[in-house]
Amino acid sequence: MTKLLIVLGSTREGRVGLPIAQWVKQAAEEDDRFEVDFADLAEIGLPLLDEPNHPRFKQYVHDHTKAWSARVDAADGFLFLFPEYNFSYSAPIKNALDYLNNEWVRKPVGFVNWGGNSGGTRAQATFRIPASAVGLVITRGNVEINFPQKQLADDGVFEPNEQQATVLRAQLNEIVALGEALKPFRG
């Protein structure tokens, strides 16, 4: 069983990220290879990084950091869901990453991104640098959604197209395979 932590990195009121996350979460939960945890950064409400020590030392002083550390530690792999803001990744996803260090190391991560013109391409491309800095191993495929609002049904449910669903399945397969293969290399 792969413990998958899905992290939603858009926090603003009215975000399209929530219906996208509900699609991703449902797809992972229907796959019996996964035990799924869902971290909505809007709900968790981590402040901007306020720990006095470098996270590499794991000398956390705040309860919110200890709770976040335990959740990430427990995971074998991740799906990070975040929009493109100003040609880059969203601030909450980078903040959540920066809080920790060894908890991420040598674990697979897949990205699901969205945006207007770009479909989130620059969000995922720019996030590769900080993700690699903490030792995350990025899946080859990544879901990119162009103007996701156009794929919301009248009841607000996100309806993926065939290509998006196919890439998500490929990512889930990679997370299982990489999660197993990387276990001996974890910090």
Ligand X SMILES: Cc1cc2nc3c(=O)[nH]c(=O)nc-3n(C[C@H](O)[C@H](O)[C@H](O)COP(=O)(O)O)c2cc1C
Question: Which residues here bind ligand X, judged by CB under 6 A?
Answer: 10, 12, 15-17, 83-87, 114-118
Q: How far is the CB of 152 from ligand X (least distance, A)?
A: 11
Q: How far is the CB of 133 from ligand X (least distance, A)?
A: 22
Question: In terms of Cα–Cα distance, which of 20, 61, 32 is closest to 148?
Answer: 20
User: Toward ligand X, which CB reaches closer, 12 or 33?
Assistant: 12
Give every CB contact of residue 119 below 8 A, 6+ residues apart in sequence. 84, 113, 144, 145, 146, 147
User: Toward ligand X, which CB reaches closer, 116 or 156?
Assistant: 116
Q: How far is the CB of 121 from ligand X (least distance, A)?
A: 8
Look up residue 156 and give its DSSP letter.
Answer: S
User: Toward ligand X, which CB reaches closer, 17 or 179?
Assistant: 17
Question: In terms of Cα–Cα distance, which of 43, 35, 45, 66 is closest to 179?
Answer: 35
Q: How far is the CB of 40 from ligand X (least distance, A)?
A: 11
Instruction: Tell me the C-alpha distance between 60 and 78, whole Å.
Output: 22
User: Toward ligand X, which CB reaches closer, 93 or 136?
Assistant: 93
Check if the beta carbon of residue 43 is closer than 8 Å to that of residue 178. Answer: no
Q: Using N-to-C axis directions, what is the helix angle for 121-133 and 91-98, rounded to 10°?
A: 10
Q: How far is the CB of 93 from ligand X (least distance, A)?
A: 11
User: Toward ligand X, which CB reaches closer, 78 or 158?
Assistant: 158
3-state SS class at 39:
strand
